[in-house]
Amino acid sequence: MMSEHILKGLRDRDPRGIARAISLVEENDPLADEILASLDDSLVDQAMVLGITGPPGAGKSTLTDRILSNYRSQDKRVGVIAIDPSSPISGGAILGDRIRMMRHALDQDVVVRSMATRGRLGGLCAAAGAAVRILAGSGCSVVIIETVGVGQSEMDIIRLADITALVLAPGMGDDIQAMKAGLLEVADLLVVNKADCAGADTLAMDMESMAREGRGKDNNKAKVCMTVASEGKGIDDLLAAIETVDASHRESGERRMRRDKAYDLEVLDWALEMTKPLIIEKIEKSDHDRKGDPRLRAAKLLEQE
């Protein structure tokens, strides 16, 4: 059977089997349930999920590539989920982050998957959580989620990742203020990339100040790291900070709490995903005037059996 073939591919860490399993989840195929239920929970629990987000132009993809290379030098198997904006026509991913990581294409211990946001404000499609578990269940001890950064709406990354790094660069201007009440206050790490550019030190000081304001009296305020990803500078210090945060979260129970909450929200995501087609069908088939308050019409639809 096809499911057995795919499950064997996951056990054998075959990139094609992993890709097919993720595709089945995205397509909401019935086989996806069997695949997800067969994953090794111990591997999923052990894996670290690192979220990398930030505004366009901050150098997230270059930084992700450097982090990936560093983990591979430690002989760690790495999965990367690149969340891209969706094509308004096909719904598919349009940036193609995999192209930026072609030098890892022949490495069997690097699995890169692009996924489309499909128009969701939060930046993550409903299948992203399942994709993380598939990568972890196929032996990836580190799963990196690199996502489009658009400010305060980019909050889904926080709930899916064990650790979130917000990447900024000098010259972002008002973008930083726009994020003050959002990601800036909840990210675990604040990364000033392109630290060799003018204004980097000032940006780092601003980040330190905003981190203190955002966490109040919380001693676990976000750590600020400085990198020049294009030259590989600061990557070792950044990874050391990631390991410190990860160890702290595991010991304190914060990691378990985050994963439990992420699970509940993922159930909600799938419930909405599964009911949306039924609601659309009801709307299209119902005989009513397209006038009045749409919210009241929605409430009436939900009241119907």
Classify domain 40-252 at the CATH class level.
Answer: alpha beta
What's the half-sphere exposure (Cβ side, CA atoms, 13 Å) at 38? 16
Angle formed at CA 154 by CA 151 and CA 160, multiple of 5 degrees: 150
For 68-77, b where at least 16 C-beta lie within 10 A, e where not — what string? Answer: bbbbbeeebb
Please report the pLDDT score of residue 140 as a whole number. 96
- The residue assigned the tokens 């790490």 is 189
| Tokens (6 digits) for 85 | 């904006």
**pLDDT interval class at 89 (50, 70, 90):** very low
Domain boundaries, the chain: 1-38, 40-252, 265-303
Question: What confidence tens digit (pLDDT) does each residue in 66-85 have?
Answer: 999 999 999 999 999 988 65
pTM over 0.75: yes
Q: Determine whether 159 is exposed, middle or buried from the number of CB atoms within 10 Å of its CB (0-12, 13-18, 19+).
A: buried
Lowest mean pLDDT among 70-84, 187-201, 248-262, 287-301: 287-301
Question: What confidence tens digit (pLDDT) does each residue in 195-247 have?
Answer: 999 999 988 888 888 777 765 545 567 899 999 999 999 999 999 999 999 99
Rg (Cα) of the chain, in Å, rounded? 20
In 3D, which of 255, 257, 259, 235 has the Cα closest to residue 246?
A: 255
Please report the pLDDT score of residue 152 as a whole number. 41
Question: What confidence tens digit (pLDDT) does each residue in 128-182 have?
Answer: 889 999 999 999 999 999 886 554 445 666 778 999 998 989 986 655 555 555 6
Residues 243 and 220: their CA atoms lie apart, in Å, by 14
Question: What confidence tens digit (pLDDT) does each residue in 104-128 have?
Answer: 777 889 999 888 765 554 446 668 8
